[in-house]
Amino acid sequence: MKVYREILVAIDCSSVDDYLVEEVSALALQLGARVHLLHVVHSHTLDQERFLRAESMLILDRYREKLEAEGIVVNVVLRSGEPEQEILREIEEKSYDLVAMAAHGHTLPERILFGSVSRTLRQNISIPLLMIRPDR
């Protein structure tokens, strides 16, 4: 049986992250895994970049504190750029056993308009991808 020791969690700073972190927390505790919280800031201006980085770090720190309080070792990673490319780059540069992210359940027009990070990851990574869909 495969044991996951390094779990990369793609946080998009949306309302589904709470559910995602809860699920990953339970898994990490069972496996004794480390959790790496990753958010990619996607901005178009330097001012927007600064603002989004500050806001993102507040959210990531909140999740880090929650997970650490449960006894989980946590690392926070903040990148800038196109989410798909930066997540792939992070996976290539580090040794992760599992990637976890929330499934938003976009409709077909939303997938066409916005693309799909999960689809890109499914097609381009060799490690397991755990898609967690929050209860509605």
- How many structural domains compose the chain? 1
pLDDT band for position 24 (cuts 50, 70, 90): very high
Looking at residue 111, what is its pLDDT? 46
- pTM greater than 0.75 (yes/no): yes
Q: Is residue 1 a part of any domain in this protein?
A: no
For residue 112, name the pLDDT band (cuts at 50, 70, 90): very low
Assigned domain for 112 exists: yes
Q: Once rounded to an integer, what is the mean pLDDT over residues 86-103?
A: 90
Best CA proximity match to 7, nearest among 79, 26, 19: 26
| pLDDT at residue 57 is higher than 60 | yes
Asked if residue 90 belongs to a domain, the reply is yes
Q: Which residue has the tokens 């580090």?
A: 94
Residues facing residue 127 across a β-bridge: none
pLDDT reading at 113 higher than 80: no
Q: The domain spanning residue 125 has which CATH number?
A: 3.40.50.620
Q: Is the pLDDT of residue 82 over 50?
A: yes
